[in-house]
Amino acid sequence: MTPEIGRLLKIASNRLSWGLDQFARQHGMTGTQMSFLDYLHRQTQAGNTVLQRDIEEEFQIKRSTATQILKTMEGKRLITRQTAAADARQKEVRLTPVARDIVAQVRGYTVQSDQRLLAGYTQKESDLITDFLKHIAALNKEDHLERNK
């Protein structure tokens, strides 16, 4: 493997984040908040209850970071947080009607971005790229989670 992989992934990540931030600003949000909305929507559509802990694990962030972002999103009336029925120590996070209106635009941006990224690649190549990125994302995930508790 070439030593350029890490550098190229970092450059690609920065550019994708910049694009998401630009789109999010149109809605008075950050790219991270937009990503949280997308995650909450996808999990809700799958019939899953989302706890703050799930968001921390998905985005590999500390509890304090998640709390700060979610409080800001509550202030913007995008989400609600309430004590989880199954575990009073946990907070369940839900989208508000305001957020649901925005989610369609977020999903449209995400789909369009993915299509642009994979344009010119065959389905087999797209699957390989996806598998590679999943592999990279999984590397040292457990170590990262342990360090950020």
CATH, residue 96 = 1.10.10.10
pLDDT tops 70 at residue 63: yes
Residue 62 lies in a domain: yes
Regarding beta strands 91-95 and 79-83, do their DSSP bridges make them parallel or antiparallel, or are they unpaired? antiparallel
Query: Do 103 and 123 belong to one domain?
Result: no
Whether residue 132 is contained in a domain is answered as yes
Mean pLDDT of 105-110: 91
80/127 same-domain check = no
Name the residue range of residue 55's domain: 19-107
Confidence of residue 148 (pLDDT cuts 50, 70, 90): low
Determine the residue type at 14: N
Q: Give the pLDDT of residue 149.
A: 55
Same domain? For 103 and 147 the reply is: no
**Same domain, residue pair 123 and 87:** no
Helices 4-25 and 31-45: angle between axes, nearest 10 degrees: 90
C-alpha distance across the termini of the chain, in Å = 32
- Predicted confidence at residue 141, as pLDDT, reads 72
8 Å CB contact between 40 and 50: yes
Residue 5 lies in a domain: no
**Do 103 and 35 belong together in one domain?**
yes
Is 1 inside any structural domain? Answer: no
Is residue 78 within 8 A of residue 101, CB to CB? The reply is no
pTM value?
A: 0.84
Q: Which helix (H) or strand (E) holds 131?
A: helix 123-138
- Overall average pLDDT of the 92-111 stretch: 93
Per-residue pLDDT, 6:
87
Side-chain-side CA neighbours of residue 13 (13 Å)? 10
Q: Which helix (H) or strand (E) holds 80?
A: strand 79-83
Mean pLDDT of 84-88: 88
Based on the domain organization, do 77 and 128 belong to the same domain? Answer: no
Give the mean pLDDT of 26-44: 95
Q: Tell me, yes or no, whether 113 lies in a domain.
A: no
Helix axes 31-45, 97-118, angle to 10 degrees: 100
Q: Does 127 have pLDDT greater than 70?
A: yes
**How many domains does the chain divide into?**
2
